[in-house]
Amino acid sequence: MTDTSEHRSVELSRASTIPSSWYLDPAFLTLERERVFFRTWQWVGRAADVSSPGDYFTHELLGEPLLISRDEAGTLRGFYNVCRHRAGPVAARCGNRKQFQCGYHGWTYGLDGRLRRAPEMEGVHELDLSSIRLEPVAVGDWGPFVFANLDPSASPLPVHLAEIGAEIVLAGFPLGAMPIVERREYEIDCNWKVYVDNYLEGYHIPIVHPGLFREIDYERYRVEPHGSFSRQLAPLRPGRKDRTYPNKGELDEALYYWIFPNLMLNVYPGNIQVNAVLPLSESRTLTVFEWYGKGDIEQAIAFSEQVQREDMRICAAVQRGLASRSYDRGRLSVAREAGVHHFHGLLLEQLVGREGSDEG
């Protein structure tokens, strides 16, 4: 069936939210790690940190230790940061090296992941050292970002990001040319999905974000689901001399892109903000913010900090409400919550398959 906007509207008018247990049960988060986070492209670092041969950085993705490097030929590579001998780490932090050495027993690997040296392993029966290499992980770079995917059958990153990449280019932003300005991390007392739900609708803006409400034209705010991402368009109010986002001509609206399951790109006049949402437990979430841009964007960063603090308070309150015996499911606004419904559908599809996604 063709997924028309009319069909989506009818479906949304009948829909309920996912049950509260999905936000509360530790066993459900274990399922999400395996079927959602470990099967999707995850932002793991910056391309500038692996721009030259020998450059590398380490990263932990929901407990999985990763190593991202650039080999002698300039190829971006990803591996599990786990020695094939007895599971020691082969790299720490970041830097530039000609090879990686396990910090436990000294096994040494090339930048391509192949084992180069295994000291004192002579005499081990049927051990073919030439066949041993670090376990690879799919990686790719996109603009200033590096992504990894733990699913060996995942579609390539350019395929996954093709549509949204074209949209950002059309918005007039040279994504790869924007330097990083600042990074901040926040821990929030809520399930990761509470934070994503909150991001995917502007319905709460008049109540939760009075400062942001004064910046945008709420009546023209709209949400557009597309495949594995959604876009929110927030036209900025014209004629305001005290506007946080300056009138620069090339963009007079804020564009909020969400990429399933947990990445946000916020495109503003003069800067781009990237957010990653990572579960720490069923009731605690880490959000990572990085700002990219040129010129003075300190005012925009301060304003983002204010909005984030407001979101943290309401998301923590919602998590407490989800735990109440009085609540299980709610209904969704056709006018304002298409993005939330879209997210829930993609989540269900990832967890139980396409047939299950047609049931609720």
Asked if 332 contacts 214 with a C-beta cutoff of 8 angstroms, the reply is no
Length of the chain: 360
Structure tokens at 123: 């005499």
Asked if 159 contacts 165 with a C-beta cutoff of 8 angstroms, the reply is no
Helix (H, G, I), strand (E, B) or coil at 42: strand
**Radius of gyration of the chain from its Cα atoms, rounded to whole angstroms:** 22
Sheet holding 284-293, edge to edge: 180-188, 284-293, 271-281, 263-268, 253-259, 229-235, 222-226
Residues 6+ apart with CB under 8 A from 313: none
Cα-Cα end-to-end distance for the chain: 17
Task: Round to whole Å and give the CA distance between 282 and 284.
Answer: 6
Task: Round to whole Å and give the CA distance between 149 and 228.
Answer: 15
Q: How confident is the model at residue 349 (pLDDT cuts 50, 70, 90)?
A: very high
Q: How confident is the model at residue 7 (pLDDT cuts 50, 70, 90)?
A: very low
Question: Residue type for 71, please?
Answer: D
Return the biggest CA–CA distance within the chain: 79
Q: What is the pLDDT of residues 39-89, one digit of tens each?
A: 999 999 999 999 999 999 999 999 999 999 999 999 999 999 999 999 999
Query: Which of 130-144, 173-187, 335-349 is the least confident region?
Result: 173-187
Q: How confident is the model at residue 288 (pLDDT cuts 50, 70, 90)?
A: very high
- Per-residue pLDDT, 170: 56
Sheet holding 55-61, edge to edge: 42-46, 145-149, 136-142, 76-80, 64-70, 55-61, 94-96
**What is the pLDDT averaged over residues 111-120?**
97
Q: How confident is the model at residue 245 (pLDDT cuts 50, 70, 90)?
A: low
Task: Round to whole Å and give the CA distance between 289 and 272.
Answer: 10
Average pLDDT of the chain is: 91
In this predicted structure, the answer to whether residue 223 has a pLDDT above a threshold of 80 is yes
In this predicted structure, the answer to whether residue 90 has a pLDDT above a threshold of 90 is yes
- Per-residue pLDDT, 307: 97
Backbone angles phi, psi at 22, to 5 degrees: -70, -20
In this predicted structure, the answer to whether residue 2 has a pLDDT above a threshold of 50 is no
Asked if 46 contacts 139 with a C-beta cutoff of 8 angstroms, the reply is no
Q: What is the pLDDT of residues 156-165, one digit of tens each?
A: 999 888 888 7
What are the E-state strand segments in the chain?
Answer: 42-46, 55-61, 64-70, 76-80, 94-96, 99-101, 108-110, 115-117, 136-142, 145-149, 180-188, 222-226, 229-235, 253-259, 263-268, 271-281, 284-293
C-alpha torsion angle, residues 184, 224, 315, 219 (rounded to 10): 100
Sheet holding 108-110, edge to edge: 99-101, 108-110, 115-117
